[in-house]
């Protein structure tokens, strides 16, 4: 069982930066694929933002590529999402997820649905004003 807790959300103006953290407990994350999803706007299906495998290889949604950076510190059992050049359309609830299956096993277009993943947190709100 992996418990994930996000932190670092908040409100910024367009062009600003935020860093989200995802602290894990209950198990070490070193063997898990980790990812960030977001729900924009509320009620819509959660979409993948970035993922990072156990070797540290990562990829991103086209909408955030070049602006966001995902990383992990297995010693701290924590994953991060550095978000730069934020846009109003980045506003939403951000969730971290961990999965030992196919989350990192296929192309980005075949990313598993959020609800099919092994573990996820409660989310952190990010609000970007214009």
Q: What is the pLDDT of residues 79-119, one digit of tens each?
A: 999 999 999 999 999 999 999 888 998 899 899 999 999 99
Structure confidence at residue 43 (pLDDT)? 76
Q: Which one is predicted more confidently, 8 or 40? A: 8
pLDDT of residue 22: 98
Per-residue pLDDT of 13-69, as tens digits, reads 999 999 999 999 999 999 999 999 999 877 789 999 999 999 999 999 999 999 999
The answer to whether 6 and 49 are in contact (CB under 8 A) is no
One-character DSSP codes across 101-126: SSTTTS-GGGPPPGGGSSEE---EEE
């Amino acid at each position: 069982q992996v418990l994930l807790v996000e932190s670092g959300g908040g409100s910024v103006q367009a062009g600003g930066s935020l860093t989200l953290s995802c602290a894990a407990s209950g198990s070490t994350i070193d063997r898990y694929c980790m990812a960030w999803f977001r729900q924009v706007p509320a009620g819509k299906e959660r979409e993948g933002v970035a993922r990072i495998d156990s070797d540290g290889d990562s990829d991103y949604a086209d909408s955030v590529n070049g602006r966001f950076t995902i990383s992990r510190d297995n010693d701290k059992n924590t994953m991060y999402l550095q978000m730069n050049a934020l846009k109003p359309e980045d506003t939403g609830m951000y969730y971290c997820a961990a999965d030992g299956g196919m989350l990192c096993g296929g192309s980005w277009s075949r990313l598993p649905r959020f609800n099919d993943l092994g573990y996820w947190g409660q989310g952190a709100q990010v609000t970007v004003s214009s």
